[in-house]
Amino acid sequence: MKAEKEKNKVFCIQCPGCQKVLWIDPVIQQVIRSEKGKRKKGSLDDLLKREKKKREGFERKFEATSEMQKERKVKAREIFEKALNSIDKEDNE
């Protein structure tokens, strides 16, 4: 009888990573309930640091994209000029 009672106990487990709490029924071997974990509240300084890093990342990506666009334009202009030169040569022949 005692073993049966212990078998029917529901386990409560907390995830160390996300702090989510799970209740598991050992008989049906499934999660029967879950709750979101409590978030650790950060300070305003931490939030500002994260936002500054995000902004810097966006600025780097924007600059890289801008540089790629410039390179594409130069390459396209070179291809266009080559095509014009070849047409000019064909017309002169």
Could you tell me if 9 and 27 lie in one domain? yes
Please write the tens of the pLDDT for every residue from 2-16: 555 555 688 888 888
Could you tell me if 21 and 46 lie in one domain? no
Please write the tens of the pLDDT for every residue from 31-79: 888 888 776 677 888 889 999 999 999 999 999 999 999 999 999 999 9
In this prediction, residue 32 carries a pLDDT of: 87
Could you tell me if 45 and 28 lie in one domain? no
* CB 35 within 8 Å of CB 21: yes
CA-CA-CA-CA torsion sign (81, 83, 88, 89): positive
Q: pTM for the full model? A: 0.41
Q: How would DSSP label each residue in 33-67?
A: EEEPPPPPPPPHHHHHHHHHHHHHHHHHHHHHHHH
Could you tell me if 50 and 76 lie in one domain? yes
In this prediction, residue 68 carries a pLDDT of: 96
Closest CA to 39 of 21, 22, 18: 18
